Chains A and B, each alone.
Chain A
Amino acid sequence: MATMHLNRREFIKWTAASSVLASIGGCTQALVQSSGNQPRVVVIGGGYAGSAIAKYLRIWSNAGIETVVIEPNPYFVSCPLSNLVLGGSKQIEDLSFSYEALKRNHGIHWVKDTVVEVDATRKKVRTARGELRYDKLVLAPGIDFIYDDLPMLQSEEAQQQIPHAWKAGPQTVNLQQQLAAMPDGGVFVISIPKAPYRCPPGPYERVCQAAFYLKQHNPTARIIVLDANPDIVSKKGLFLKVWSEMYAGMVDYRPNSSIVDLDVAQRHVITEFERVSADVLNVIPPQRAGKVAQMLGVANVDQRWCEVDFRTYESTVLPDLHIVGDSVSAGLPKSAHMATSQARVCASAIVAAFSGIDPDPLPVFANTCYSFVSDSMAMHVAHVYRYDPAKKIMLPADGGGVSEAPSAQEGSYAYDWARNIWSDVLT
């Protein structure tokens, strides 16, 4: 990778920006003025994984590790619960949070910028505004969409017409508005990519939320689910039961249905078997590790996901570079809870490494994931995962599984889960 030098102009801009950031964040250290001999960790990405690792690095090192987060978005938008925006029981504003408490409470340096280049040899990150050195780098970039087979969806205009709504924010609002404007008796078509993708039960939860909305506002509307997978990926029995009982006659599920071609303007989809016309079309594209992981060549599994050591989340490709969250090839559900669990194992391993001790050789963590089937009823999948030193992977422990049925009680717990994980990750 080419090395980059900071020119004088960039340096001035950078230090000016740093002092502003430092005063906003209540920090005592300017970004580029390293605080004595403190090691510095730079975290790329401020989603669930990136925010969690920044917080726990600061807490567990007793503020002994200088922590910098680079995140282009001005605030956090939660993907969990974002399907409720489609169902009409939540607004996107209910799921959009400030980073201020996180920064202030833990003295985290925050750089609102996009990473342009990483020099892993010289341990430097370059953003649009300047350059930062690091001792250890953490990538938490989330997912990137693959448009190789769907080049017609690459443009922003095409994604306005046919939203993915798989990164919560304006895309979610767009899809909700299209659903609300759908003609009476219209057809909503959702395309699900082959696993692995972010949030395994998410697409099926989305079907429930669209059905919940349409049942009230457009009861003769239909939903066609074009699933590239041979079967429902997560909570299968529960979703099938909900569709047949709560939303009878509305949901038409079609497995093995990959999109071969599509007409953006007309919202026509062609699969290997058929041609389907939609009034509202939601294509969730296939996914891979976030762009910065690809840029660094650490997405070494099928050129899509990142291989790591599950005791440290260090890349198997580059040293002193850790990867957490949806970008990791873990064979585990790509969920928010999982992302934060990985982040904490990684934070602990980094603190241990700087302290000269070994990381936990046998990490164990939990994952709980709720899906809402209406505005108030939810169901879970939950497991404890344990590191298997022989297989070198995280394996589900005994006792895990799914709800017997969705319930209002679990709906209430699902909201509690959301409020607690937001508190944990963002304050």
Chain B
Amino acid sequence: MASLKIEVRGLGYGVCGTEILNGVDARVPDGEITAVVGPSGAGKSTLLRAINRLIEPSSGEVYLEGVPTGSLDPLELRRRVGMVFQIPALFGTSVEEAVLYGARLSGGDADPGRLLEVVGLDPSLAGRDPQTLSVGQQQRVSIARALALEPEALLLDEPTSALDEAARRKIEELVRDLNDRLGLTMVFVSHDLSQVERVADRLVLLADGKSVGEWERGDFFSEAGERARRFIAGRL
């Protein structure tokens, strides 16, 4: 395994007395796509939000290249670890503005045309109102927006759940492509095992706020992973 980009140790998080995460361990190797899989309510999205400190874990710690993220400036951390959500939530009246939103917050700049190309969109869309794009295109813009900050890692929270089958496949290809070309480390939340097989290098399985296990893709989708696959299939 490559060196670890992100490591989660004993993570806990609760809301109003309900434990959503209860001792989660997970390892995200540098330059690989790690899928977080589990039934709904398992704590997948919560785990992602704890990694970039959108929420404050009540116990345990997340390490970014060995440094506890609790000791980092949260704004700096979020620029280093980008995030893409289920819903694109774009800002501004043009695609260009939407792409540059995060970069401009920190006084930086980026080339919107190049970023649109990277995510497979025509740079001529830069002047369009983002609301006139299809949801699949909007999701690509939100990926371009995250890339504009030149992150070291990208968290993707079920980025295809609002898309139809064709758009879903295209985003999957884009994710693989970004990983191949840029070597970008990614954490990909999904509840779809066939999608995980297409996209991820390895996977972390969560259930009821606890980590159940971690597998390399090959191991999980071979005979050895049969029991784990049946465990998930029964609960997804």
Partners in one complex: no
List the interface of chain B (C-beta within 8 A of A).
none
List the interface of chain A (C-beta within 8 A of B).
none
